[in-house]
Structures are given as structure tokens and as C-alpha cells.
Structure 1
Amino acid sequence: MSATFNHTIIASKDRERSALFFRELLELTEAPSWGPFTNVQLTDGVLLQFAEPPVEIQMQHYAFLLDDELFDRAYQRLCDRGITHWADPQMRRPGEINNEHGGRGVYFKDPAGHAIELITRPYL
């Protein structure tokens, strides 16, 4: 068997709020949750497990590859909700998207303060 990515735990201040944010933004369905985790499953089977750690949350970066149609809908949701976003990871181009790597991309922060990136083409 080759190696594939299975799951990651994402620290959140409110695991239910974070899971709902990603489900709505990326049009995902609920996944069975257990213990300290509220789970969201991506279409390729990868689980995002949201948990509320008893420590200060350090910002992490998570990037999601979307098709053009889902990117359009997700970007519209960001705009409709008034979520601050940038075309660049340095946060110098607010309110814009980028057209790099032959596709489009946008950066913003999720409810826990993590840096989220949506792209339509992989970097490689």
C-alpha cells in the first residue's frame, strides 16, 4: 500500500463552530464524531478533526485544492460573510484573489485564527 494522508487534528476555540465553518464553506457533509473530536470528511476521505486543546492555539496553515466552480462558490461565501481575505500569504493585498500557478488562490483566517488557503491548481 502506498502512503496517503488520512487525518489531521485542527486546534479550535470552538470545535463545533470550526467544523460548521468548513462544512459550509467547502460544501462538506457531517462525519461521525467521537470523544474530543468534531469531524469533517473531505471528498477524498481525509478527516479534519477539530478539538479544543487546553493550551493557547498556535496558528497553522492549511491549503485546500478546489475545482473552479467550488472556488467561485466558496469565495462568494467569504465575501457574503464579510470575511477578510488576501491574495497573498503576507496579507498585503486585501480583498483580492491571486492568479498564480495557472489558477486562482485566496488566503483568510478560520474561526480559530488559522491561515487558510484555497487554490484551484496545485503548485507542482
Structure 2
Amino acid sequence: MTARFNHTIIASIDAAEMAEFYRDLLEADEAPSWGPFVNVQIADGVLLQFAAPPMEFPPQHYAYLLDDAHFDRAYAKITDRGVEHWADPQRSRPGRINHEHGGRGVYLLDPSGHYLELITQPYL
């Protein structure tokens, strides 16, 4: 199998704000931007492109695999800044993390209302 994930466009109310949010939380690298896109790059050269779409957009779900130390830093930012978060995607366990799949996980919303999931172990 040779297919690898390369990039995605994430619909954004404010592309610059979204790029900064993801760059900070995911400790992502800056990347050159062009046209309507404000870009950041995460591991393996994956490009996240933030842009305002020409129409309303439904919230999407984006999950990121972090190592334990990065998860600790990200979770500290979430709690220090008072960002609402949950241990589950149904948002029934507020202010907590989960310990599923042999690791830890947390759910939160980004500035444009997309559902983020940070996990320390992959599901498979």
C-alpha cells in the first residue's frame, strides 16, 4: 500500500486564527500560504490548509495522535486557558480525559466549531 495522507482543507471562519490555534495546540510548523489558504504542517509533511469556504459548512471531526509528552502540554494549554473539553464525543463527561484504547484522549471544539480529538494511542 503506497497511499499516504498529504493535505486537507479545513473550513474556517477566520483562517489566520484557526492556523494559529492548530499551530499552537499541535506544535505544528509554519508553512508557506497562498491564495485563500493559511497553511501549517504537521508530522510526515501533512499540510493543514485553513480557508473560509464560499458557503456555510457543517462541523467536521479531526483526530490527532500525540505522544504522551505532547498530550500533557496540549492538555495543560486546554485547562490553563479554560477551554471547554470532554472525555467523550457525546460531550457527557465535561472537564475530563478518557483512558481508552490503552492511552488517553480528549475532545474539544476549535475556533470554527469543528470537533477535535487528541489521543495518545491509535484505535487500531
TM-score grouping bracket, smaller chain normalisation: over 0.9
Structure 2 unaligned residues grouped into runs of 5+:
none
C-alpha distance after superposition, 1:24-79 (max 9, x if no partner): 11111210111110001002100000000121121000000000000000000011
- The equivalent of 1:29 in structure 2 is 29
Of Structure 1 and Structure 2, the greater helix share is in: 2
1:1-124 matched pairs, under 5 angstroms: 2-124=2-124
Stretch moving more, 80-89 or 51-60? 51-60
How many residues align? The count is 124
TM-score, length-normalised on structure 1? Answer: 0.98
Runs (4+) of structure 1 moved beyond 6 Å? none
RMSD, aligned CA: 0.9
TM-score scaled to structure 2, two decimals?
Answer: 0.98
Distance 2:10 2:29 in 1: 17
CA distance in 2, matches of 1:55, 1:75: 32
- Separation in 2, partners of 1:9, 1:79: 27
State how far apart, in whole Å, the 2-side matches of 1:110 and 1:81 are.
Answer: 13
Aligned equivalents of 1:30 and 1:70: distance in 2? 18
